[in-house]
Amino acid sequence: MSSKKWESNEEIQIFREYLQIPTVHPDVDYTDCVEFLKRQASSLNLPVDVVYPAVKTKPVVIIKWLGSQPELPSIILNSHTDVVPVFREKWTHDPFAADIDEEGRIYARGTQDMKSVGTQYLGAIRLLKASGFQPKRTFYVTFVPDEEIGGELGMKAFVKTDYYKEMNVGFSLDEGATSPTDVHHLFYAERLRWALKLKASGTSGHGSLLLPDTAGVKLNYVVNKLTEFRTSQVQRMAKDSSLSAGDVTTVNLTQLSGGVQSNVVPPSFEAVFDMRIAITVDLVAFEKQIRDWCEEAGGGIEIEFFRKEPLIGPTNMDNSNPYWVALKAAIDELDLKIRPIVCPGATDSRYIREKGTPAFGFSPIINTTMRIHDHDEFLQADVYLNGIEVYKKIIRNLAEV
């Protein structure tokens, strides 16, 4: 199919228009995005609200599809409107032009992560409304800012508002992951994000001397211990093919600082580590092990966990969760292959789960090279359109829970 034929498709046109709005970090301007979403709500004849849970530059857009029994707990269809930065010189297409090639590949930042999901929700609702379907439960299609930088002023702030409380949310659906095979990934939990800063202090002096208890030697000891732990996680994955990235704990040294010149032993060094902790880890024991290593190194090491997310329980995937039963029925009826996994990164679902509400992450993107946060991010037009049909079935099932 030529690119011209794809360009004439209404749903593809809507998707491309959304992609062409550069809601890119840093310093995102969401103005045009909000206006676009208001127009989409109007085209569906659905009411829309814009709320600012934290600051006036961080809007949450909520499109409401009222259910016939609005007293029942509602369902959120969530997506985020922001995208990560681009390195334009690395792209073969303008990252905000949404070009379509002859193979039907749409190139733009946000095609996979995750503007596609937001407009696919709307496309599915358009089909359901056209068929005369009326949901039993109310749906809120939410578009939130700043997910790519942690969601502090987006979903995290939104779930604390009176507006959110009045929504009476019973279940949430959010982003999943791109799959290079025909197996969809379904997120039912997320690893914990921890960030650790170590400041080692010790003897300073001339670089020609073998001074005792230097900051470099102390820090090196702890770095080696953390690297050994990292290696153990690599080996676990190598030995057990059933494990996904979300089943192990990652520890990565991301920043090093200290020193003044080559012949001076400095009084201190600092190191920062990014950690994504598996939900099976004993957090108390894990932190104690790090503190013990710092003592074994000789002491004099300041320990700061400047990010330390709590354990948030996974969403149940059994008959105790009626939303899972409905979702699984839709998956089976569509004959989709699904692999439930722990999200290796972080999504806004964690803020929903923290409120005690079940949440899953699911993106109907299969047989696609993963380009999330990468150059030349793209999505095949037929994959996008098929995703609308998938969400149509899922939404219909969830509506009748």
With left for phi above 0 and alpha for psi between -120 and 50, is residue 253 left, alpha or beta? beta
DSSP code per residue over 116-178: HHHHHHHHHHHHHHHTT---SS-EEEEEES-GGGTSTTTHHHHTTSHHHHHH-EEEEEE----
Catalytic residues: 82, 147
Q: How far apart (Å, rounded) are the C-alpha atoms in residues 176 and 112? A: 10
The reported pLDDT for the residue numbered 2 is: 57
Token couple for 370 = 């993963």
CA–CA distance, 315 with 55 (Å, rounded to integer): 31
- Alpha-carbon distance of 367 to 371, in angstroms, equals 12
Instruction: Please give the pLDDT value at position 23.
Output: 98
- pLDDT of the chain, 401 residues: tens digit per residue: 456 778 889 999 999 999 999 999 999 999 999 999 999 999 999 999 999 999 999 999 999 999 999 999 999 999 999 999 999 999 999 999 999 999 999 999 999 999 999 999 999 999 999 999 999 999 999 999 999 999 999 999 999 999 999 999 999 999 999 999 999 999 999 999 999 999 999 999 999 999 999 999 999 999 999 999 999 999 999 999 999 999 999 999 999 999 999 999 999 999 999 999 999 999 999 999 999 999 999 999 999 999 999 999 999 999 999 999 999 999 999 999 999 999 999 999 999 999 999 999 999 999 999 999 999 999 999 999 999 999 999 999 999 99
Q: With contact defined as beta carbons under 8 Å apart, do 49 and 164 qualify?
A: no
Residue closest to 114 by CA, chosen among 349, 379, 394: 379
Token pair of 263 as six digits: 């012949």
What's the N-to-C CA distance of the chain in angstroms? 39
The packing angle between helices 115-130 and 381-399, to 10°, is: 60
8-state DSSP, 6? H
Please answer whether residues 18 and 36 qualify as being in contact, where contact means their C-beta atoms are separated by less than 8 angstroms. Answer: yes
Q: Are 176 and 187 in contact (CB under 8 A)?
A: yes
Taken in order of first residue, the domains within the chain and their CATH numbers are 3-176+347-399 (3.40.630.10), 193-308 (3.30.70.360)
